[in-house]
C-alpha cells in the first residue's frame, strides 16, 4: 500500500503563501493513487505541485466536513473526471475495490460526523486518525487486531494547557498513544500540524524520530 501525503497542515495554514518555508497544504492523502481521503480545497494545487495525476482517483472518502477537509467544488471536479464519492456513516464498513474500509467515530466535537478510517487491502492495514482528540475505546479494541501504520492527529505541538486538546492531540498525547498501541501497530506517523502551534518541520521531525514517530510533510510517500 502506498500512502502519499498531499497535505499535512491544519486549518490555520489558510492564506499562507506557498513560498513560506515548510509550507503545508490542508491535510489529505492518496492511497495507491486511486483512493483519496479528504477532498479539501487545495487537492488540485497540491497534486500539481507534486506531480500527482489526480485524474486516476477512483474513489473519494471524507473524515468530516470542516472546510479544510471537504470542498464541494473539489468533489464535483473529481466526480466529473470519473471518481466516486463514497459516503460513510460513523461505525460503518464498506468494500471499495480491493479495500475493506471501516469507519469509526472520532472525538472531534465541533463536527458531529467526524470519523477515522481503517483501510485494509487484504495484505496491509492503515489506520487514518485525523482529526480527533485521543482515540475512543472502540478504536482501541479495533486496533488490537493490528495495523501496519497509524497516522495520528498532531495539531498541537508541545504546548501545555491548550483548550484544543478536547478535539485535537498535542505531542504528549501522541506519545501516550504510541506507548499504549506499540504492541499492535508497526509504524506511527503524525500529520495535521498547525502553523501557529509547532516549531519548524526539521526540528519537529528530528525530535519525534528519537521516539520512532515519523513526521509527515507535503509530498511525502510512504509504503507499507
Residue 23 is assigned to a structural domain of this protein:
yes
The pLDDT value given to residue 128: 98
Domain count, the chain: 1
Q: Which domain holds residue 146?
A: 2-217
pTM (2 d.p.): 0.96
> In the beta sheet, which residues pair with residue 59?
35, 84
The pLDDT value given to residue 153: 98
Residue 188: C-alpha distances to residues 12, 13, 129, 151, 185 (Å): 24, 23, 11, 6, 8
CB 60 within 8 A of CB 36: yes
Residue 17 is assigned to a structural domain of this protein:
yes
> What is the CATH classification number for the domain harbouring 36?
3.60.15.10
The pLDDT value given to residue 109: 76
Residue 161 is assigned to a structural domain of this protein:
yes
Residue 222 is assigned to a structural domain of this protein:
no
Per-residue pLDDT of the chain (224 residues), as tens digits, is 999 999 999 999 999 999 999 999 999 999 999 999 999 999 999 999 999 999 999 999 999 999 999 999 999 999 999 999 999 999 999 999 999 999 999 999 777 789 999 999 999 999 999 999 999 999 999 999 999 999 999 999 999 899 999 999 999 999 999 999 999 999 999 999 999 999 999 999 999 999 999 999 999 999 99
Residue 223 is assigned to a structural domain of this protein:
no
Give which of 115, 125, 142, 135 is closest to 37, Cα–Cα: 115
Residue 224 is assigned to a structural domain of this protein:
no
Amino acid at each position: 500500500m502506498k500512502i502519499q501525503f498531499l497535505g499535512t497542515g491544519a486549518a490555520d495554514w489558510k492564506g499562507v503563501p506557498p513560498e513560506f518555508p515548510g509550507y503545508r497544504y490542508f491535510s489529505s492523502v492518496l492511497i495507491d493513487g486511486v483512493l483519496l481521503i479528504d477532498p479539501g480545497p487545495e487537492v488540485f494545487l497540491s497534486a500539481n505541485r507534486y506531480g500527482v495525476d489526480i485524474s486516476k482517483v477512483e474513489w473519494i472518502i471524507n473524515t468530516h466536513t470542516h472546510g479544510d477537509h471537504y470542498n464541494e467544488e473539489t468533489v464535483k471536479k473529481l466526480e466529473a473526471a470519473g471518481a466516486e464519492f463514497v459516503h460513510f456513516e460513523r461505525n460503518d464498513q464498506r468494500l471499495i475495490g480491493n479495500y475493506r474500509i471501516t469507519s469509526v467515530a472520532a472525538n472531534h466535537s465541533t463536527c458531529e460526523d467526524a470519523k477515522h478510517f481503517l483501510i485494509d487491502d487484504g495484505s496491509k492495514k492503515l489506520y487514518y486518525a485525523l482529526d480527533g482528540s485521543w482515540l475512543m475505546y472502540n478504536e482501541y479494541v479495533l486496533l488490537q487486531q493490528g495495523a501496519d501504520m497509524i497516522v495520528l492527529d498532531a495539531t498541537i505541538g508541545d504546548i501545555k494547557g491548550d483548550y484544543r486538546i478536547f478535539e485535537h492531540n498535542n505531542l504528549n498525547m501522541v506519545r501516550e498513544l504510541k506507548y499504549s498501541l506499540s504492541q499492535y501497530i508497526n509504524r506511527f506517523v503524525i500529520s495535521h500540524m498547525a502553523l501557529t502551534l509547532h516549531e519548524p518541520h526539521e526540528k519537529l521531525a528530528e525530535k519525534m524520530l528519537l521516539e520512532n514517530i515519523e513526521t509527515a510533510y507535503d509530498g511525502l510517500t510512504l509504503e507499507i
